[in-house]
Amino acid sequence: MQIWNRNRQVVYRSDAPRGARLTDAGGPSDELIAALSGTTESEVLSADHPPTSERDVRKLLRRHGDLMEVYVPIKNHGHTVGAFEVYLQNAATEAAIAQDTNRLYLVVLLGLSVLYAVVFRIVAAASRRLRDHAAELRRHAERSEHESLHDPLTGLPNRMLLRDRAHQAIVRGRRTGEETALLLIDLDSFKEINDTLGHHSGDVLLREVGIRLTRVLRESDTVARLGGDEFGILLPDVGGEEGAVTVARAVHRALQHPFPVQGLMLDVEGSIGIALLPAHAESFDELMQRADIAMYAAKGRRTGYEVYVPDATDGDRSRLKLASELRDAVARGEVVLHYQPKCEMRSGRVTGAEALMRWYHPTHGAIAPDRFIPLAERSGLIRSLTMFAIESAIAECRRWIDDGVDLAVSVNLSTRDLIDVQLPDDIARLLGERNVPANRLELEITESVIMADPLRARGVVSRLRDMGVNVAIDDFGSGYSSLGYLKRLPVNELKIDKSFVLGMTDDEGDGVIVQSTIDLAHNLGLRVVAEGVETEEVWERLRSMGCDIAQGYLISRAMAGSEFRRWLDSSGRSGSAAA
């Protein structure tokens, strides 16, 4: 940088009169006025088009090219006292400016780079956090979806997921014609294990069962836990009944090996019901219901597995119509209980009555229980029908108590009832509501009902007995219960099947059976009831054989509640009157 003050240096004094330029003619320039008031001013003078007429300046411009004219204020103690006018070679100034500009660019570039790096890191961190949060949300959603579709204990799909998969199979099957099977598995001795070894052992066992079932099956099959000790297996594209049976056999075999639970080897067999789509059902619910029926058949026959057999009468319109009418019959008051007296043989006193169901259909008239009870069992109505019977019987018993009539009431149970572990609690509640002592209620269960699931039946019967409810084995001799098992079943009463009683005076064999049954019952400490007592002759034989109680047409048919009460009063059999 060169200062041209040697060639031309003009000094102004700030207190000099305005415009009193010492060397120049003409008024002061704007730049000069600005410099005198304290600010540095500059101006570029072009050599090509000199803006000034001063000779010195023009000479300088010729020699050095473009010039920068700068006015610099001269300050003394903060006051501007004058100004320099300086000429700088513009090329040098431009070079210096260019260098400064480049340096500035560099600084700005570096600054921007640093800023970019910092901002980038902040943004990256923020977006990472956002991504993590989104992933967490997704995981959470997946987890709760998994939870809603799976059983927490075994981790297997639950009923909802099974239903969904079955639905998919149904839709697919309509297009491809493929057959799907549903296997319903109920463990035979789970309840006993759960009750005796505790819930923890039960849990371990259920998990093990789940693992074993999964191992036997293909990946495309679905094993679901439906609750309690019930499992469902959906076999898509199973290859018909033959394929389903092959799988059922494999499943049954897999469950036959004992399960190690807390140092014990437990035998847990399962009963498997098989139903097929589209052969047996059109919907999932129907499929479940059919498999359920097959499963109870497998339990009853103790065959391990059974395929659903369509009822020959299923196609019978009137039968189906009846089933749907039964659904509303109770609510419409068409179903009522009749009471048949049970008579103590020694005293002739009536000690109880058996409640027998009657359905008065508005167009078909009276329908026998033999016709509609199996219908209720097949359509899933039996539970509500049984609860209706128990509730009505308890209500009737309450009326007897209120009137000072000292009688027990008996109600019949069917297969499904005894497998329902909820039953004892429901009965306890109904007794409590009416304030009827438990020993006023007796439940009649047939051998076949007991043998369908002996362990569970024993569990339910034991709980009923613990509550004080009496239990009788109905139709004894018609089934095939094992005496060994019977010995351990905590019942109070044995009812000899009426087929033996009806013919006992004509058929020597029947007489022997009746006598043996009475002796057997007494040896087991049970009370004996003879059903189907129609004649005086049979009554006398039974009495001499030591039978405790008689029931039959000789005494009376079953009667409606009010009629039964009138009969009781007029016969003088309640209390201590003799036969």
Kindly write down the DSSP assignment for every residue of 55-95, as one continuous string. Answer: HHHHHHHHHHSSEEEEEEEEEETTEEEEEEEEEEEHHHHHH
Pick the closer one to ligand G by CB: 12 or 339. Answer: 339
With CB cut-offs between 5 and 8 Å by kind, which of ligand G, Mn ion, none does residue 552 bind? Answer: ligand G
Pick the closer one to ligand G by CB: 68 or 436. Answer: 436
Are 527 and 344 in contact by the 8 Å Cβ rule? The answer is no
Q: Which of 440, 429, 433, 434 is nearest to 468 (CA)?
A: 440
41 is an interface residue for Mn ion by CB under 5 A: no
- The minimum distance between CB 481 and Mn ion, in angstroms, equals 16
Surface-to-core class of residue 380, CB atoms within 10 Å of its CB (0-12 exposed, 13-18 middle, 19+ buried): middle
With CB cut-offs between 5 and 8 Å by kind, which of Mn ion, ligand G, none does residue 370 bind? Answer: ligand G
Pick the closer one to ligand G by CB: 48 or 370. Answer: 370
Pick the closer one to ligand G by CB: 231 or 539. Answer: 539
Site pattern 480..509 for Mn ion (x: CB under 5 A): ------------------------------
With CB cut-offs between 5 and 8 Å by kind, which of Mn ion, ligand G, none does residue 475 bind? Answer: ligand G
Question: Please, what is the angle between helix 159-176 and helix 90-149, to 10°?
Answer: 90
With CB cut-offs between 5 and 8 Å by kind, which of Mn ion, ligand G, none does residue 368 bind? Answer: ligand G
With CB cut-offs between 5 and 8 Å by kind, which of ligand G, Mn ion, none does residue 369 bind? Answer: ligand G
With CB cut-offs between 5 and 8 Å by kind, which of ligand G, Mn ion, none does residue 498 bind? Answer: ligand G
- The minimum distance between CB 369 and ligand G, in angstroms, equals 3
Q: Tell me whether strands 408-412 and 441-446 are parallel, antiparallel or unpaired.
A: parallel
Residue 392 C-alpha from the chain's centroid = 34
Q: Which stretch binds Mn ion (CB under 5 A): 53-61, 232-240, 409-417, 450-458?
A: 409-417
Question: Which residue has 């009193």 as its token pair?
Answer: 20
Please give the structure tokens belonging to residue 225: 């836990």
Q: Tell me whether strands 79-89 and 12-13 are parallel, antiparallel or unpaired.
A: antiparallel
Using CB under 5 A, which of 229, 444, 510, 548 touches Mn ion? 444
* Helix/strand/coil for 355: strand
Residue whose CB is nearest to ligand G in the complex, by number: 552
Pick the closer one to Mn ion by CB: 277 or 355. Answer: 355
- The minimum distance between CB 338 and ligand G, in angstroms, equals 7
Pick the closer one to ligand G by CB: 229 or 474. Answer: 474
Q: What is the DSSP letter of 283?
A: S
Are 210 and 223 in contact by the 8 Å Cβ rule? The answer is yes
What CA–CA distance (Å, rounded) separates 236 from 233?
Answer: 10
Pick the closer one to Mn ion by CB: 493 or 510. Answer: 493
CA angle 329–335–337, rounded 5-degree value: 165
Q: Tell me whether strands 222-227 and 549-551 are parallel, antiparallel or unpaired.
A: unpaired
- The minimum distance between CB 328 and ligand G, in angstroms, equals 18
Size of the site for Mn ion (CB under 5 A): 3
Instruction: Please tell me the total number of residues recorded for the chain in this structure.
Output: 579
- The minimum distance between CB 426 and ligand G, in angstroms, equals 15
Q: Which stretch binds Mn ion (CB under 5 A): 143-151, 285-293, 473-481, 568-576?
A: 473-481
Q: Distance between terminal CA atoms of the chain?
A: 148
* Sheet strands (E) in 116-221: 180-187
Using CB under 5 A, which of 69, 442, 474, 493 touches Mn ion? 474
Please give the structure tokens belonging to residue 291: 């498999």
With CB cut-offs between 5 and 8 Å by kind, which of Mn ion, ligand G, none does residue 356 bind? Answer: ligand G
Pick the closer one to Mn ion by CB: 229 or 497. Answer: 497
Are 240 and 185 in contact by the 8 Å Cβ rule? The answer is no
Using CB under 5 A, which of 289, 392, 412, 481 touches Mn ion? 412
- The minimum distance between CB 446 and Mn ion, in angstroms, equals 8
Q: What is the DSSP letter of 507?
A: -
Pick the closer one to ligand G by CB: 234 or 357. Answer: 357
What H or E segment, with its residue span, contains residue 563? helix 561-571
Are 223 and 157 in contact by the 8 Å Cβ rule? The answer is yes
- The minimum distance between CB 335 and ligand G, in angstroms, equals 9
With CB cut-offs between 5 and 8 Å by kind, which of ligand G, Mn ion, none does residue 415 bind? Answer: none
Kindly write down the DSSP assignment for every residue of 518-572, as one continuous string. Answer: HHHHHHTT-EEEEE---SHHHHHHHHHHT--EEESTTT---EEHHHHHHHHHHHT
- The minimum distance between CB 396 and Mn ion, in angstroms, equals 16
Pick the closer one to ligand G by CB: 32 or 373. Answer: 373
- The minimum distance between CB 555 and ligand G, in angstroms, equals 8
Residue 182 C-alpha from the chain's centroid = 19
| Sign of the torsion angle spanned by Cα atoms 176, 179, 184, 185 | negative
Binding site for ligand G (CB under 6 A): 340, 356-357, 368-370, 373, 389, 412-414, 444, 474-475, 498, 531-534, 551-553, 558
Are 573 and 565 in contact by the 8 Å Cβ rule? The answer is no
Q: Which residues here bind Mn ion, judged by CB under 5 A?
A: 412, 444, 474
